[in-house]
Structure 1
């Protein structure tokens, strides 16, 4: 296999785990000597997604998407998201008999149900049809694989994640305001309803709370919690130094499938406090690099006692090179797997 086309509706200027995972995987595949192309919303006119304007929805046609796919002429097609571009690429692939894989990054049924009165069973039925049409659906963790298998998803393949341990590492000093009382409890991610951030902000904790990231709830959260420091989005070394300035990373999400931010915090030497749910159970588990508890306050306080060096060492077990080789192995294996029969209408 010499070339891979990745179709994704999640792309810049979004800052999230999907975009970072795809970029870092592509960088590693390029180092392995593969050609990697992206079909993203940047190629089309877009409109903002209702209730979530940071997400851009592509305005295009299946015919145009097919023409771009033909022009790239890649050996393997990977459809990373279930948005407009993912749907059109899937339709083209089915019509042309192309082998393709997909990936399940986001617990979309739960995200949608948090915003609209849509039963998760209905959304899972649609997602199952979308993903089962391909020759492989890549998932990040064992917990997610088990959950989706129980819901009827097939050809599930493991694609873990990594961390850039050169960028995300312990740094001397703090980039946060000097007068911020210690200890500092931090959350990094989208400021959105599905991230359950209020569960963190409502905790009675000593010291200070810091939230790093942007999203549709950022301004309303700033008004509702004036004692919390909301920094807005950060990237690169500025983000890494901000992580390293914290004493505990608090992850209140109940819907993430993995949580790249968990590895980034650990690589910076920051212990994690989270609920014992999918994502934290797979990344932290019983490693001792964090505390998982239904009582998030108790977890946050207990995490203060975890040595920072231990957190760093645990994170070093995850690399983007290993993750990308896993991705490539999945793409190669897909050619030996039959697709499930699908209705003609795609």
Structure 2
């Protein structure tokens, strides 16, 4: 029998990865174009809207599964006190719910293919932007104090006895700044591969969910048969395991519904791309956090150095001192 908790965890993880990788893919194509082309943005908007609607239908199915779980709890509570007719009626209702849920799961798998079909219409265009960028975008240099800088610095140290590496207060801050900046420059090809892999994972999770629901149909049908054919009875241990598992499943269903609902809101956020900035320094140059931040901010003003002129000198032969006359000239500021 399929494990619902594991299926839900996989489903949620794949949906979250699909959301994030699609955002990264759009960011990468914006960076490659040097702008967020309205027609290009509209394609991503359509894909995101289809994904959101699809995932909302998945949460609707999960809510139906929670309703079935409530019936399992009711069955467990009444099996020793309710009449045979009441138990039969409850089992028939549970059986009908399961069959309906299996149909919905099958429809969701078909809808999933339709969403992939829409993405496939635009995939070549997305790929073309990545393969033929209009601008070359490179992330800023590494930050002093970050893990990547520390690793490179350690390789440059001369051989000989050294003490243990010392952490600096800048480390966590530099790591945060570096990670934040790196998120503006995702690998578009990797993001595309991750999105497609995540979509395959979602389909596989829906297939496992469908098989799980079919297993519940079998249990309900066996329960009905046992009312008239005692030889078909579930053993007390089997019945207890069945009801206990649904206590765990109810919590897993609630968490999955909450997580996927949150992702449904996040998937509609439009990517903006990295800010335009002056050419980055050579790869080997290591920058401080302030230098990295300043490199992404346009220069709005220029300050010119004050020039100094020497007008002459006088030497005193008695004291041996020489006096130099200096005048300062401040040039007019640039327009």
**Alignment TM-score > 0.5, same fold:** no
Larger relative contact order (C-alpha < 8 A, sep ≥ 6)?
2
More helix by share: 2
Larger radius of gyration: 2
TM range (shorter): under 0.3
Normalization by structure 1: what TM-score?
A: 0.21
Structure-2-length-normalised TM-score:
0.22
